[in-house]
Chains A and B, each alone.
Chain A
């Protein structure tokens, strides 16, 4: 079936299998593999995107449900050629190792700071509890969020 949606401010069209997830469509049909496919069951947050400005797991959105809606993926976070301050903070603090969790965490952190510009440590932990990272033990990710909040 044909689906039309807005991704990172651009109108996109895709021909999808009706049971297809938004994650699959973004990655395999729209050339946006930045959102990651670590579990496809909502448990890891690596596929996090903004759907009409809400943080969601794109693996749990049926592509057909995104018809006519606005999606922002990790590819749409940087401003022109400049890294977003959240991205810059992840680079600076060493919050990236294998990086598979990173795109989801970038989107989740951007969402957190949009609602809570100065989150407490507890708020950071709770807000990011849906984004699993297997490499870093989260310490440097928390550092990155704190740094981005200050920036």
Chain B
């Protein structure tokens, strides 16, 4: 039997550009997988449904990158955060409403955040040529809740 990918990067990306963070809910164990995969990241099931995630959670860690990859120097410094979503999964993104140079463990870790009104989009480079990346690759863009 043919097995189709339930939520592809293209679908996830196009949705995030409209500020909707999609994920997968497992019909077998009830848990969430986000970013999406073929299988539930908790139990391995492929019995999954696409759901909209709350986009809310708390910061578990971060870094401020001053030396980004080629072609991204204009973005530096970049404040990258790892957020534990209320549904459980962790997801990487950016935090936009604090000056990256003022970021600290005290000001960030454990703080509540939510998806902001505008998802930033990485326009891509010579290595992101696929149709799934056309129009750029969206990144979860958080603000303090």
- The yes or no verdict on A and B being binding partners is no
